Amino acid sequence: MLAANSEFPLLLKFIFPTDKLSIQVHPDDAYAEAHERAAGGRGKTEMWHVVSAEPNAQVLVGLKSGVDKQAFLEGLRKDTLESLFQSHPVRAGDTMFVPAGTPHTIGSGMIIFEVQEYSDLTYRVYDYGRVDAQGKPRELHIDKALQVMNFGASSARKTSRLSLPADGLERFLLLACRYFAAEQWEPRGAFVMRTDPSHFDLVVSISANGFLNQIPCRLGDCWFLPANLGEYNFLPLEKPATLLRTYPPDLNALRAELWEAGHDKAVAREAVFD
């Protein structure tokens, strides 16, 4: 449960890139607390779920093995930075974990649903020569970016969804970390769920209209379901229907649920990040 004076911990957004986004990196909580108190003091770990993707759509996440600070600066100077990144083709249904400290950019031709810590701290390192409304290059944050960037092995990667028990729908864990968990729900028809008394839920419809507790729920709507709500129901008006649920998790309880569902501990570790 959130304390009465707590800040809301999560931020959800849809991203519709028509061009490559800037190459950037986000600080972790420790750096943000020490250096960015005025901006909220919270780092930014995030995940992406691909709602749709055109052929050949890709994201750049994490640096190739052996790329160090000197090589990164050389790539920046020569405008060859993209060649230093790990390229990941994406298609609808893919999920990727992007922890703080991981340099990245999102390409065009896709729709991304993003879940992140409630933070807007972004250190931009390369912007493809773009300018702002006044014709000036957008601000870069290279010095800060180099301080927080992970030049070694990273836990950033695609994850495979894992089935979880539920009545009236197919339920899958996409991934979980200490900040958030994300599940994909595929209703077979009307279904009833209960909120967990230990946390709120955020539920987003990404493929169908319907009714949540008899209130119209439209494609793209996000619903905040408080922990004390108890029972709620959803009736999809179209099939197939897909909902995404996010919440601040108890990782030990989630691992136990995965084990009870028949997933071994090694598999569970692939989707639950400490």
Q: How confident is the model at residue 134 (pLDDT cuts 50, 70, 90)?
A: confident
Q: How confident is the model at residue 265 (pLDDT cuts 50, 70, 90)?
A: confident
Q: How confident is the model at residue 139 (pLDDT cuts 50, 70, 90)?
A: very high
pLDDT tens column, 147-202: 999 998 888 999 999 999 998 899 999 999 999 999 999 998 999 999 999 999 99
Helix extents (H) in 50-149: 69-78, 142-148
Average pLDDT over residues 228-240: 92
Q: Which pLDDT does position 171 carry in this prediction? A: 96
CB 100 within 8 A of CB 180: no
| Cβ neighbours for 70, distance < 8 A, ≥ 6 positions apart | none
Q: Report percent pLDDT > 70 for the chain.
A: 98
Q: Which pLDDT does position 7 carry in this prediction? A: 80
Q: How far apart are CA 173 and CA 124, in angstroms?
A: 31
Q: What is the residue-averaged pLDDT of the chain?
A: 94
Asked whether residue 72 carries a pLDDT value surpassing 70, the answer given is yes
Q: Report percent pLDDT > 90 for the chain.
A: 85
Burial of residue 218, with CB atoms counted within 10 A of its CB: 0-12 exposed, 13-18 middle, 19 or more buried: exposed
Average pLDDT over residues 214-228: 95
Q: Which pLDDT does position 131 carry in this prediction? A: 87
Average pLDDT over residues 127-149: 93
Go through the domains of the chain in sequence order and give each one's CATH number.
Answer: 10-158 (2.60.120.10), 160-269 (2.60.120.10)
- The answer to whether residue 124 is catalytic is yes
State whether the Cα torsion 174-227-3-6 is positive or negative. Answer: positive
**φ and ψ at 230, to 5 degrees?**
80, -130
Among 37, 42, 124, 157, which one carries the catalytic annotation? 124
Q: Which pLDDT does position 2 carry in this prediction? A: 53
Average pLDDT over residues 249-259: 94
Q: What is the amino acid identity at position 78?
A: K
Q: Which of these, 43, 44, 46, lies nearest to 34 by C-alpha position?
A: 43
Asked whether residue 70 carries a pLDDT value surpassing 70, the answer given is yes
Asked whether residue 13 carries a pLDDT value surpassing 80, the answer given is yes
Q: Which pLDDT does position 270 carry in this prediction? A: 83
Asked whether residue 5 carries a pLDDT value surpassing 80, the answer given is no
Average pLDDT over residues 48-59: 97
Average pLDDT over residues 110-125: 97
